[in-house]
Amino acid sequence: MNARSLVPLALVAALLSGCGGGSAKEGGKAAASASGSKYDAGPRAVETPYDHEQAEKGKELFSTKGCSACHAIGRRVTGPDLAGVTKRRTAQWMEHQILEPEVMTKEDPISHELLGTYALQMPNQRLTQPEARAVIEFFKQHDQGAANDGAGK
């Protein structure tokens, strides 16, 4: 076999190795997304309907917990613009980022890159898991469009 005939074989082998029904968890570890983040593999958060009541709680928390000091929706403040965040990230990734930002910047490649870009460590606001999920519902509500208010229940 010459080098030229090995190229198609290598291509077929690469394609076949990428096929199959592998789950998000292989060998007890969460599979990483293309970004390398074990928390960002899977459907984007926006793909599930938002809960209107939880979104309202999340909106309140966003302003009272100080999130709006660094973030806005539709413009950059000192931190990233959060418009479309649920289209870019999974709910799991956002939840971990909200609950343990100091760990995420050390261990998660997306969070580490954001720290490099914005040169600002997101502070841990000590939200509970239900509060973090409410904030995510607020982001989903915004990304799914306020015009559909009520349709996201």
Q: How far apart are CA 25 and CA 6, in angstroms?
A: 32
- In this prediction, the residues of the chain whose per-residue pLDDT falls under 70 are 1-33, 146-153
Pair 67, 124: CB distance under 8 Å = no
- Model-wide pTM > 0.95: no
Pair 42, 24: CB distance under 8 Å = yes
The DSSP result for 107-145, as a single string, is H-HHHHHHHHHH--PPP-----HHHHHHHHHHHHHHHH-
pLDDT at 108: 97
Q: Which of 85, 86, 80, 70 is nearest to 125 (CA)?
A: 70
Pair 100, 43: CB distance under 8 Å = no
pLDDT at 34: 75
Residue with tokens 């649920």: 86
| CATH code matching the domain that covers 51-144, chosen among 3.40.50.300, 3.30.200.20, 1.10.760.10, 1.10.10.410 | 1.10.760.10
**Angle between helical axes of 129-144 and 52-64 (0-180°, round to 10):** 110
pLDDT at 16: 33
Per DSSP (E only), the strands in the chain are: 25-26, 29-30
> Helix, strand or coil for residue 84?
coil
pLDDT at 80: 95
Q: Which helix (H) or strand (E) holds 145?
A: none
Domain definitions of the chain by residue range:
51-144
pLDDT tens profile 18-48? 333 333 333 334 455 677 899 999 999 999 9
The β-bridge partners of 25 are 30
Pair 90, 41: CB distance under 8 Å = yes
